[in-house]
A and B are shown apart, each in its own frame.
Chain A
Amino acid sequence: MKIEILYSEIANLFGDMANVRYLEKCLPKAEFIYTSINDKPKFISEKVSLVYMGPMSEHSQELVIDALSKYTNEIKASINDGVNFLVTGNAMEVFGKYIENEDGTKVEGLGIFDIYAKRDMMHRYNSIELGTFNKLEIVGFKSTFTEVFGNAPKFLKIKRGYGNSKDSDVEGIKKNNFIATTLLGPILILNPYFTKYLFEKMGVKTKLLYEDEMIKAYNKRLEEFKDEKRNLD
């Protein structure tokens, strides 16, 4: 089994690399490929079980768009072929049409999905997030300068917190096995049932490492997130 991590030298903010470290601990026999910003992604030419990319700075978004724009058609084909992708934080914006700055200038994206992001660098949207995916309740955290607009098949239906934009009740993108979420951090550790879902898609039958402890922490967080007396931030 091969798991490819895209651009971990820049796409590594907010504790998200813990997702990869957790996978490494759960799947000691898997091959983890760390693809650098100057290298051709492996998933373009090889079968991989999961492609992972985490959040990054705004400048790094431009580097990533530049690096991946050579492979837009191959990425589309991979998504259509059902390759598993997990993309977190503002990495999702890279796959949209453009990212708009406050002054109206635009950074062209890969254009794979019909979404666009608007930056407001003087305001950070922070929120706890509770959403549903299939019948799973997903918990996480959002902390971003952008709101995302447009039309793309959703990942989460939001029950508490901000969606892709402050007024939206949908979050992320899910198309075939491509999942992008604006949630940040160790989402696989925070969401044991979702991790089991992902493992199933990857063909992994291993029990989650520290599953009982993960479920206890998940249940406590779920209870807190459902408590309307607690603020979103």
Chain B
Amino acid sequence: MRYFIALMVSKIAYFMIRLIGKDGTYFPGKLAIKICPDFLGHIKKPKVIIGVTGTNGKTTVCNMIIDVLEDNGYRVLNNRKGANINFGIASTFLEAKGEYDIAVLEIDERSSRLIYPYVKPNYVVVTNFFRDSIRRNAHPEYIVDFINKAIPKETKVILNGDDLICTGVAPKNKHIYYSIDKLSTDTKEPINIVRDIRICPKCHSTLKYDYVRYHHLGKLHCPKCDFANPTPDYLAKLDFDKMTMDYKYDTKICTYPLVSNSIFNIYNEIACITLLTNLKLNPNDIKKSLKKLHIVETRFTKEVINGVEIITHLAKGQNPVACSRVFDYVKNETGTKDVIFLPDDVEDNIKTSENITWLYDTDFELLNDPSIKKIIIGGPRYLDNKLRLLLAGIPEDKMILIPNELDTAKYIDKDVDKIFILHDLHATHLGFAIKKQIKEILGGDKHEN
């Protein structure tokens, strides 16, 4: 009875919100769960449910999976326009119209205990685990614990085999591992500040690296017991010259296009392919759809204006590994570059004084590269950022630090090959406004991608 009242009231709320022209991605689900706490258990769901979780990349992986499935004729229920917590997922099911072949749901790790008791995915794809927002997520052990306590035992988990925190998820569930084969860019010793697993969880010995990809990802083993990366079920061998990967499993090898040249997005693509392969999609159909994929605009855009590439790239604030990965990507891009970075939390700096501890877990040292001609940081924490750049060894004459984000564009050089605008998720509008200013400074309007 409570369920039917919740369903009726929340559907009315949904239609009312739509009537006034807004997207009700959160409120109707919240209302439903407030009225009926186990609402998610009762509402009709597609037969096949996929969950995607992990610290970084889950939105991108979800988008890729949905795009490929839809391109292949599947009707996919998804929460990509909504919240990834229980209320958002309830709203997603509420808004469903007609029959769906499959649900693809981004699931916030901390919301696991509120979702998995009622929504039992056939597969959960896990991207990675790194330290994230200090105030919300504390540390990876805390986050993995949420998933391990809640994930249904029948769910198969698709795990990043190069991440030894990830491989510890749901130890009693069926594990499927994906991995990227050794790369020429892998190193013998770690270079990143953050490495979230350094000792063996079994015997506490210091782990040894066979090679490091980034942070704690790579191939590691315990010198005193059998703890090590698992043998991957799906192994990708990358070819950056051809922008393809050979994807090996069982006795098969499939060649897929690389949708990006950044390793973290290639991991996202491989997570997606592994799920789709397990769903028995034809490799040729996956390949055809992957060729059409683009990373969504709020995360990545690229335009060429009078010979200068302008690239906007999401660099999530309060997330040291996400920013470090983007810095690494910028460093490894060819040509000369200017970097505009907008790391400050717009909300925090109005309401409080932003916690800046994360800046010191972020590898600003990666920006200390001869190819980077200027680093322009705008935002209220400009003095903190200046200190951080100095401590990263960046010469003072390469840096411009100013309190207002929108003043950054005027400091760019017109003679560099690439200008990167790295922005927090909540500063996307500022990033795009700066991009517009830069386009005006450079003149022209040639659109490439």
Query: What 0/1 pattern do residues 349 to 362 of B give for CB contact below 8 A with A?
Result: 00111011111110
Chain B CB within 10 Å — which of A14, A141, A231, A233 has the most?
A14
Are B360 and A230 closer than 8 Å at their CB atoms? no
* B311 contacts chain A at the CB level, 8 A cutoff: no
Q: Which residues of A contact B142 (CB under 8 A)?
A: 57-58, 121
Are B357 and A185 closer than 8 Å at their CB atoms? yes
Are B206 and A38 closer than 8 Å at their CB atoms? yes
List residues of B (388-409) whose CB comes within 8 Å of A's CBs: 390-391
Are B135 and A143 closer than 8 Å at their CB atoms? yes
Q: How large is the interface on A (under 10, 10 to 19, 20 to 34, 35 or more residues)?
A: 35 or more
Q: How large is the interface on B (under 10, 10 to 19, 20 to 34, 35 or more residues)?
A: 20 to 34
* B277 contacts chain A at the CB level, 8 A cutoff: no
Nearest neighbor of A190 in chain B, beta-carbon distance: B356
Whether A57 contacts B139 in the complex (CB less than 8 A), given A25-B391, A233-B352, comes out as yes
Whether A13 contacts B135 in the complex (CB less than 8 A), given A210-B390, A230-B353, comes out as no
CA distance A58 to B355 in the complex (A): 22
Give the contact stretch, choosing among B55-63, B177-185, B197-205, B229-237.
B197-205
Q: Nearest chain B CB to A107's CB is how many angstroms away?
A: 15
Query: What 0/1 pattern do residues 379 to 395 of B give for CB contact below 8 A with A?
Result: 00001101100110000
Q: Nearest chain B CB to A215's CB is how many angstroms away?
A: 10
* B193 contacts chain A at the CB level, 8 A cutoff: yes
Nearest neighbor of B131 in chain A, beta-carbon distance: A13
Query: What 0/1 pattern do residues 56 to 75 of A give for CB contact below 8 A with B?
Result: 01110001000000000000
* A94 contacts chain B at the CB level, 8 A cutoff: no
* A30 contacts chain B at the CB level, 8 A cutoff: no
Nearest neighbor of B396 in chain A, beta-carbon distance: A213
Whether A145 contacts B138 in the complex (CB less than 8 A), given A36-B206, A232-B352, comes out as yes
Q: Nearest chain B CB to A61's CB is how many angstroms away?
A: 11
Q: Nearest chain A CB to B107's CB is how many angstroms away?
A: 18
* A15 contacts chain B at the CB level, 8 A cutoff: yes
* A17 contacts chain B at the CB level, 8 A cutoff: yes
Interface contacts (Cβ under 8 Å), in number, total: 97
Partner of A214, one of B199, B205, B353, B387: B387
* B134 contacts chain A at the CB level, 8 A cutoff: yes
Partner of B355, one of A16, A18, A143: A143
* B97 contacts chain A at the CB level, 8 A cutoff: no
Partner of A15, one of B135, B357, B390: B357
- Chain B interface, DSSP helix/strand/loop, else mixed: helix
Query: What 0/1 pattern do residues 209 to 224 of A give for CB contact below 8 A with B?
Result: 1100110110011001
Query: What 0/1 pattern do residues 194 to 220 of B give for CB contact below 8 A with A?
Result: 000011000011100000000000000
* B136 contacts chain A at the CB level, 8 A cutoff: yes
Whether A189 contacts B391 in the complex (CB less than 8 A), given A124-B136, A128-B355, A145-B138, comes out as yes
Partner of B204, one of A21, A22, A63: A63
Q: Which residues of A contact B138 (CB under 8 A)?
A: 57, 124, 143, 145
Q: Which residues of B contact A22 (CB under 8 A)?
A: 391
Are B353 and A224 closer than 8 Å at their CB atoms? yes
* B141 contacts chain A at the CB level, 8 A cutoff: yes
* A186 contacts chain B at the CB level, 8 A cutoff: yes
Nearest neighbor of A125 in chain B, beta-carbon distance: B135
Whether A10 contacts B198 in the complex (CB less than 8 A), given A36-B206, A189-B391, A214-B387, comes out as yes
Chain B CB within 10 Å — which of A59, A217, A232 has the most?
A217
Query: What 0/1 pattern do residues 314 to 339 of B give for CB contact below 8 A with A?
Result: 00000010000000000000000000
* A225 contacts chain B at the CB level, 8 A cutoff: yes
Are B386 and A213 closer than 8 Å at their CB atoms? yes
Query: What 0/1 pattern do residues 23 to 51 of A give for CB contact below 8 A with B?
Result: 00100000000001110000000000000
Q: Which residues of B contact A18 (CB under 8 A)?
A: 360-361, 391
CA distance A176 to B391 in the complex (A): 31
Are B199 and A37 closer than 8 Å at their CB atoms? yes
Q: Nearest chain A CB to B200's CB is how many angstroms away?
A: 10
Nearest neighbor of A19 in chain B, beta-carbon distance: B360
Are B383 and A231 closer than 8 Å at their CB atoms? no
CA distance A37 to B207 in the complex (A): 12
6 A-B residue pairings within 8 Å (CB atoms): A128-B353, A141-B356, A145-B138, A213-B386, A232-B352, A233-B135
A contacts, CB < 8 Å to B: 9-10, 13-18, 21-22, 25, 36-38, 57-59, 63, 121, 124, 126, 128, 141, 143, 145, 184-186, 189, 209-210, 213-214, 216-217, 220-221, 224-225, 230-233
List 19 other contacts, CB 8 Å, given A141-B357, A220-B383.
A9-B198, A9-B206, A13-B134, A17-B193, A18-B391, A38-B204, A38-B206, A57-B142, A121-B142, A128-B353, A141-B356, A145-B138, A185-B357, A189-B391, A209-B391, A210-B387, A213-B386, A213-B390, A221-B353
In the complex, the 6 A-B pairs of residues with the closest C-beta atoms, listed nearest first: A185-B357, A15-B360, A18-B360, A15-B357, A9-B198, A224-B353
